[in-house]
């Protein structure tokens, strides 16, 4: 059990305490038992090795019954050279989706200052394999795993959704007997190609190199005035995917690079939630 193997980690129960209620009060016990409770575990190693980047945070329902749950992989942005799973935006999303009944993992990965491309792709794939390896004890349905990322994290989320095992991006991590594939991807401000002639622009490291209908449902969100991820590149990718017959949805929102990160959350948050509910809920299976 993961509980035994990770006994040195601190488990924080996030719940309403209702300390003013007496423990013997049956009405307060009923209230406590029906309020959604989650557990959060920080810095779980998802592979063995020397890198301090191979860690994830886990949030999961504690009193949602015994049935299998959907899961969500959250991947931070930062231009592949910065950023962290500890950023408030990703921590909040991790907790919010756990409260909705998802098992969520918030993934750290090697940045380019530590290891060049495609190490970051290999790392997030390893994290998905870790999740599948522990699916039974976490009560995760391995056929209902989604991924979300923003900016560089959106690129990585698309890559774990679109790249087959034979792409050579699985890396040398753990749990090789499990799939790194995910079943739905939402991507905010997504770099689908690098757009310039540098070593990192290899087609096999970018979603543009995998145009096909043979992908899980995808949802891309783009700002109309994004100076970092050019809207015309995202539109071109979406058009090519639709022409290939892919299941892809596209939302273009007025604003810049932060539309699905901070500035337009009233629009983007419900859209992302609806997308995952549509593709990862039990009624789909």
Q: Examine the pLDDT at 263 and tell me if it is beyond 80.
A: yes
Confidence of residue 281 (pLDDT cuts 50, 70, 90): confident
**Mode of pairing for the β-strands spanning 184-188 and 248-253:** unpaired
CA distance 271 to 277: 10
Q: Examine the pLDDT at 6 and tell me if it is beyond 50.
A: no
Position 66 scores a pLDDT of 82
Indicate the average pLDDT of the chain.
89
Q: Is 203 helix (H, G, I), strand (E, B) or coil?
A: helix
Contact 237, 208 (CB under 8 A): yes
Position 29 scores a pLDDT of 59
- What's this model's pTM, rounded to 2 decimal places? 0.88
For the record, the structure tokens of 158 come out as 């698309």
Q: Quote the DSSP letter at residue 259.
A: I
CA triplet 216, 190, 53: central angle to 5 degrees? 90
Confidence of residue 36 (pLDDT cuts 50, 70, 90): confident
Kindly report, residue by residue over 214-251, the tens digit of the pLDDT: 999 999 999 999 999 999 999 999 999 999 999 999 99
Kindly report, residue by residue over 59-78, the tens digit of the pLDDT: 999 887 789 999 999 999 99
In this structure, whether the domain defined by 2-15+34-284 belongs to CATH 1.10.1740.10 is answered with no
Position 195 scores a pLDDT of 74
Closest by CA to 245, choosing from 209, 213, 208, is 213
Confidence of residue 26 (pLDDT cuts 50, 70, 90): low
Q: Examine the pLDDT at 37 and tell me if it is beyond 70.
A: yes
Kindly report, residue by residue over 105-160, the tens digit of the pLDDT: 999 999 999 999 999 999 999 999 999 999 999 999 999 999 999 999 999 999 99
- Domain borders along the chain are 2-15+34-284
Position 282 scores a pLDDT of 60
């Amino acid at each position: 059990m993961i509980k035994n193997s990770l006994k040195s980690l601190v488990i924080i129960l996030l719940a309403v305490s209702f300390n003013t209620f007496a423990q013997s009060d049956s009405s307060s016990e009923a209230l406590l038992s029906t309020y959604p409770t989650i557990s959060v575990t920080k810095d779980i190693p998802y592979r063995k090795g020397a890198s301090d980047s191979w860690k994830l945070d886990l949030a999961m329902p504690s009193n949602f019954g015994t049935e299998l749950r959907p899961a969500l992989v959250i991947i931070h942005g930062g231009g592949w050279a910065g950023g962290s799973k500890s950023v408030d935006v990703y921590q909040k999303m991790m907790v919010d989706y756990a409260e909705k009944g998802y098992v969520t993992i918030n993934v750290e990965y090697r940045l380019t200052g530590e290891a060049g491309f495609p190490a970051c792709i290999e790392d997030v794939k390893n994290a998905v394999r870790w999740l599948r390896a522990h699916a039974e004890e976490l009560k995760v349905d391995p056929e209902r795993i989604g991924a979300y990322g923003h900016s560089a994290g959106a690129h990585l989320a698309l890559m774990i959704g679109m790249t087959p095992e034979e792409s050579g991006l699985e890396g040398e991590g753990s749990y090789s007997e499990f799939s790194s594939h995910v079943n739905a991807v939402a991507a905010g401000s997504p770099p689908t190609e690098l757009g310039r002639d540098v070593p990192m622009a290899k087609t096999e490291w970018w979603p543009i190199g995998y145009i096909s209908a043979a992908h899980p449902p995808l949802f891309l969100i783009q700002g109309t005035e994004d100076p970092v991820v050019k809207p015309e590149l995202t539109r071109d990718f979406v058009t090519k995917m639709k022409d290939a017959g892919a299941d892809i949805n596209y939302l273009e929102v007025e604003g810049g690079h932060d539309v699905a990160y901070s500035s337009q959350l009233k629009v983007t948050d419900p859209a992302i939630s609806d997308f995952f509910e549509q593709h990862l809920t039990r009624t789909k299976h």
